Amino acid sequence: MKKHNFSAGPSILSEYTIKNTAEAVINFANTGLSLLEVSHRGKEFVAVMDEAQALVKELLDVPEGYHVLYLGGGASLQFCMAPFNLLRTKAGYLDTGTWAANAIKEAKIFGEVEVLASSKEANYTYYPKGYTVPEDLDYFHITTNNTIYGTELRTDPDVKVPLVADMSSDIFSRPVDVSKYDLIYAGAQKNLGPAGATLVIVKESALGHVDRVIPTMLDYRTHVKKGSMFNTPPVLPVFSALQTLRYYKEMGGVKEMEKRDVAKAKLLYDAIDASKMFVGTVTDPDSRSIMNVTFVMTPEYKELEKDFVDFCAARGIVGIKGHRSVGGFRASLYNALPIESVQALVDAMNDFEKAH
Amino acid sequence: MKKHNFSAGPSILSEYTIKNTAEAVINFANTGLSLLEVSHRGKEFVAVMDEAQALVKELLDVPEGYHVLYLGGGASLQFCMAPFNLLRTKAGYLDTGTWAANAIKEAKIFGEVEVLASSKEANYTYYPKGYTVPEDLDYFHITTNNTIYGTELRTDPDVKVPLVADMSSDIFSRPVDVSKYDLIYAGAQKNLGPAGATLVIVKESALGHVDRVIPTMLDYRTHVKKGSMFNTPPVLPVFSALQTLRYYKEMGGVKEMEKRDVAKAKLLYDAIDASKMFVGTVTDPDSRSIMNVTFVMTPEYKELEKDFVDFCAARGIVGIKGHRSVGGFRASLYNALPIESVQALVDAMNDFEKAH
């Protein structure tokens, strides 16, 4: 049975990515060697790295003066790398969820942190609006999509200070005005590739302004200077990411991805809103994420939540159990998920509701 | 044509590792999903991580009180993580090559560094002996194998201070007395798996003695507490590492690996020593690495070096070009390399020498 994979991350990847990766593990670029055992300095992998950087620039229309890097360590390592490299005195953060809070915690090691807005008191059920960004900040940090809570900011804020964004769970789901950002980072394992690589887009002129000594591996300039090949990069995750980027280009780019993602999300949100059994957890409709749709059962049906997960599993629908801090369900609709899978989930919801 | 892969790293892996990884990229543990797209919190991957930790403990006979971690970022990130976590006042380092020198550079950010011995003046052509390790050091750091220069320390030093070792390029090539070490780290991409994971073996009692604030991701305690699952680990590299560990166990463990590695190295060193055309670069026979054999052509044949690389390539022998700082040739004989490949190289050397 074909699975409908709604996992929050690591998560569904395109068939193209999976097939090409499996083939390369056997024979990479006709070298007669596995992708797992080739030198990262060989011309075949250098070509992979070059194209994986170039395609990010092309798909996101990255302006001159920016560098694209693939680093190890996950987005969680960026929580400290960003302030290590950019925080002189004070930074502003939005507290929009667990990952944002983790980023705030790390930044406090390096300087003063002003939390400009937070939805924590409401268990992060909306994306804050109407806050003011002081002009004396070294940077303003946002988490554009909050995987756990199903909230998202789908616009690029206009601020007068450098903007830093964790786009781990919604990058490539819409065109982004990169020129508004000094730094964008994203763990690969949602819309890009398998776990093990973190995409970084950094503005060269943003670097070199802090006084502290930065350990070599944590200094973005190290990786910029060496084209992301200072040390052995995560070879396979970068290769797989390249396959996804090629697939996006072939499909029509991020505008087309956005169109599909919006349609998928609408299908599911409409079903939730029409249901008497299921209810969305995000309180502000504007805050609803098109990547992660979080919903629960209404109090009278609450005890059926586990049954519904099993009901879905029997239909090949997996990965819909909600994060423990929200409960209920979370359906992640990342780029690679076909609308047919969303329809399968909606059908399951309708059938389950009718049966009870 | 079957390739003989002498690459220095990323480097040859067992057929077992490659085949099982390729299969898991298509269908992981009968989930019907790719290894690239499953949750790291799912029971199937949790089992992988657990076994990958347990097998390291079993194969290296790791005593109680130690933890096995798989981190991202490469051994280069450990160059700063080690002193971040362990350096209070002063550490001692051996300067045995480029990577050791890189480790020293990072440690200097965190405290005083005493270089107890160095072979730099001799272009690292031997592994230093006869140095004294002061008893007031927070730790003593060694690089057990120097990939670029073909030198290696195949014993566990007896010292009265905590011992830290970068074993990136020779771990699992011999039994190690782990009890002598507070910290061992190793980039996976030689004797363990594909690039993207770094193996860390750390003694719990070594942690928590520095005053500085350590960023969460750089604090070994973070990863110890969460069983190496604080954030999304490099899923595929860990899976592949597990396959290699299973293969080692099946083959008879690290003692058997050592026997094979010693035999392979002897075959090649004997050929070099018997040749009038080729000469080893390591000046002290005791320092010769059994993992990376570095050699050049004698001055009268020097101009034929490029021809020999081409001569080998025509026979499917790849990855033998030496690092630019040594020149000539480097044949890496990691665990997964069969002795037949070494014989093929020796045959090529003999045939080439006869032809000239």
Give residue-wise pLDDT tens across range A292-301. Answer: 999 999 999 9
Task: Quickly name the fold that domain B253-355 has.
Answer: Aspartate Aminotransferase, domain 1 (3.90.1150)
Q: In what order do the strands lie in the sheet with A329-332?
A: A278-280, A292-297, A329-332
Residue in B37, B231, B236 closest to A236 by CB: B236
Are A84 and A110 in contact by the 8 Å Cβ rule? The answer is yes
Task: Indicate whether A238 pLDDT > 80.
Answer: yes
- Beta-carbon contacts of residue B243 (< 8 Å; ≥ 6 apart): B14, B16, B17, B20, B21, B193
CB within 8 Å: A40 and B109? no
Q: Do domains B15-251 and B253-355 have the same CATH topology?
A: no
Average pLDDT over residues A100-116: 98
Q: How much is the pLDDT for A1?
A: 73
Give B26's contacts in chain A (Cβ within 8 Å). 18, 22
Are B120 and B101 in contact by the 8 Å Cβ rule? The answer is yes
Q: Chain B residue with minimal CA distance to A4?
A: B33
Chains A and B form CB pairs within 8 A to the count of 197
CB within 8 Å: B217 and A193? no
Residue in B13, B76, B213 closest to A36 by CB: B13
CB within 8 Å: B8 and A39? yes
Paired with A4 in beta bridges are A317
Residue in B5, B77, B230 closest to A217 by CB: B77
List chain B pLDDT tens, one digit each, 356 residues.
Answer: 789 999 999 999 999 999 999 999 999 999 999 999 999 999 999 999 999 999 999 999 999 999 999 999 999 999 999 999 999 999 999 999 999 999 999 999 999 999 999 999 999 999 999 999 999 999 999 999 999 999 999 999 999 999 999 999 999 999 999 999 999 999 999 999 999 999 999 999 999 999 999 999 999 999 999 999 999 999 999 999 999 999 999 999 999 999 999 999 999 999 999 999 999 999 999 999 999 999 999 999 999 999 999 999 999 999 999 999 999 999 999 999 999 999 999 999 999 999 99
CB within 8 Å: B215 and A34? no
The mean pLDDT of chain A is 97
The alpha carbon of residue B333 is apart from the nearest alpha carbon of chain A, in Å, by 13
- The number of beta carbons lying within 10 Å of the beta carbon of residue A270 is 11
Looking at chain A, the number of H-run helices and the number of E-run strands are 9, 14
Q: Which of A12, A30, A34, A229 should be substituted to probe chain B, the one whose Cβ sees the most B Cβ atoms within 10 Å?
A: A34
Q: How much is the pLDDT for B241?
A: 98
Please indicate if the annotation marks A330 as binding a ligand: no
Indicate the domain borders of chain B: 15-251, 253-355
Query: What single-letter DSSP state applies at residue A177?
Result: -
Structure tokens that stand for A181 in this block: 């950002």
Q: How much is the pLDDT for B2?
A: 84
Q: Which of B1, B34, B212, B325 should be substituted to probe chain A, the one whose Cβ sees the most A Cβ atoms within 10 Å?
A: B34
Residue in B8, B105, B218 closest to A216 by CB: B105
Are A110 and A89 in contact by the 8 Å Cβ rule? The answer is no
Q: How much is the pLDDT for B1?
A: 73
Report the complex ipTM: 0.97
Residue in A21, A34, A40 closest to B13 by CB: A34
Q: Chain A residue with minimal CA distance to B83?
A: A215
The CA angle A144-A263-A238, to the nearest 5 degrees, is: 50
CB within 8 Å: A22 and B18? no
Task: Quickly name the fold that domain A15-251 has.
Answer: Aspartate Aminotransferase; domain 2 (3.40.640)
Alpha-carbon torsion, ordered A57, A58, A64, A66, to 10 deg: -10
Q: Beta strand A329-332 with A292-297: parallel, antiparallel or unpaired?
A: antiparallel
Q: Chain A residue with minimal CA distance to B320?
A: A39
- Beta-carbon contacts of residue B130 (< 8 Å; ≥ 6 apart): B117
Cα separation, A187 vs A156, in Å, equals 19
Looking at chain B, the number of H-run helices and the number of E-run strands are 9, 14
Phi-psi region of A253 (alpha: psi -120 to 50; beta: other; left: phi over 0): left
Are B235 and B35 in contact by the 8 Å Cβ rule? The answer is yes
Q: How much is the pLDDT for A247?
A: 98
The amino acid occupying position A196 is: G
Are B296 and B279 in contact by the 8 Å Cβ rule? The answer is yes
Give B315's contacts in chain A (Cβ within 8 Å). none
Please indicate if the annotation marks A151 as binding a ligand: no
Q: Beta strand A292-297 with A317-318: parallel, antiparallel or unpaired?
A: unpaired
Given A170, A190, A261, A321, the catalytic residue? A190
Are A162 and A139 in contact by the 8 Å Cβ rule? The answer is yes
B187 SS3 class:
strand
Given A138, A166, A182, A219, the catalytic residue? A166
Q: Which of A232, A320, A323, A325 should be substituted to probe chain B, the one whose Cβ sees the most B Cβ atoms within 10 Å?
A: A232
Paired with A280 in beta bridges are A295
Q: How much is the pLDDT for A2?
A: 84
Cα separation, B201 vs B190, in Å, equals 17
Could you confirm whether A166 is annotated as catalytic?
yes
Burial class (CB in 10 A: 0-12, 13-18, 19+), A109: middle
Cα separation, B268 vs A181, in Å, equals 55
